[in-house]
Amino acid sequence: MSIFSPGFQGRPRPQSDRTPPGQYLTEDFPVLSAGPTPRVDLTRWQFSITNETGRQYSWSWPQFMSLTQERPHVDIHCVTRWSKLDTNWQGVSLDDLLETVETQAEFALVSSYGGYTTNLPLEDLTGGKAWIVHTYGGQDLDPEHGGPARLLVPHLYFWKSAKWVKGIRLLDYDEPGFWESAGYHSYGDPWREQRYQGD
Ligand SMILES: Nc1nc2c(c(=O)[nH]1)N[C@H]1C(S)=C(S)[C@@H](COP(=O)(O)O)O[C@H]1N2
Ligand SMILES: [Mo]
């Protein structure tokens, strides 16, 4: 007989030591979009990084796809409390995209086809922590999940991972994006439960 009585545990066990506080695990892949899904033709698709002096660095789809491809295997955490473990993506590291970019900027404002924006420190896009991904689970990224390509920054809440990513502006000052202007936390670390301003 077990000496542990399931009825008398002090507190619920976390579902995994990879589940941040206040999150529950899901096997689904919920779609969260603040507006309609933009359709972006690959012949017109362009991704650009603009530095603080206004200099623009751009990649067409073939140029982007010819860069070194990485396969991040990561856990993702949405501020609406679902977390999904072991997601598999393919894309290009921001380290590679930023390699030729001249900048002293500290902040980044990411923008999407469709108008969505989100901000983060430039430091959080470098050091092997962020990618522009075009494949999920071995398939082309669904338009609903951000295809043709989205940002993936899994160490922050998933609203920072802009779908249908179009460009990144590097700035000397922090400029809040769409959800950050609506009261969401400016940084959004799921392990510190930084959901809303003041958390
Ligand atoms: N362009 C754009 N990117 C976005 C969003 C959005 O509404 N528009 N929603 C964000 C939020 S709140 C989350 S949780 C994730 C959801 O990604 P998914 O729909 O692939 O699960 O995308 C983020 N990126
Ligand atoms: Mo979200």
For atom 21 of ligand 1, the residue with the nearest CA is 31
- Confirm or reject: Cβ of 182 under 6 Å from ligand 1: no
Candidates 90, 58, 57; CA nearest to 73 is 90
User: What is the predicted pLDDT for the residue at 15?
Assistant: 72
For the chain, 199 residues long, give each residue's pLDDT as a single digit of tens: 444 444 444 444 557 899 999 999 999 999 999 999 999 999 999 999 999 999 999 999 999 999 999 999 999 999 999 999 999 999 999 999 999 999 999 999 999 999 999 999 999 999 999 999 999 999 999 999 999 999 999 999 999 999 999 999 999 999 999 999 999 999 999 999 999 999 9
Distance between Cα 78 and ligand 2 center (Å): 4
DSSP 105-162: --EEEEEETTS-EEEEEGGGGSSS--EEEEEETTEEPPGGGTTT-EEE-TTS-GGGS-
User: What is the predicted pLDDT for the residue at 146?
Assistant: 98
**Predicted TM-score (pTM) of this structure:** 0.94
Cβ atoms of residues 137 and 27 within 8 Å = no
- Confirm or reject: Cβ of 32 under 6 Å from ligand 1: yes
For atom 5 of ligand 1, the residue with the nearest CA is 33
65-75 burial, b for 16+ CB within 10 Å, e for fewer? eeeeeeebebb
User: What is the predicted pLDDT for the residue at 10?
Assistant: 46
User: What is the predicted pLDDT for the residue at 16?
Assistant: 82
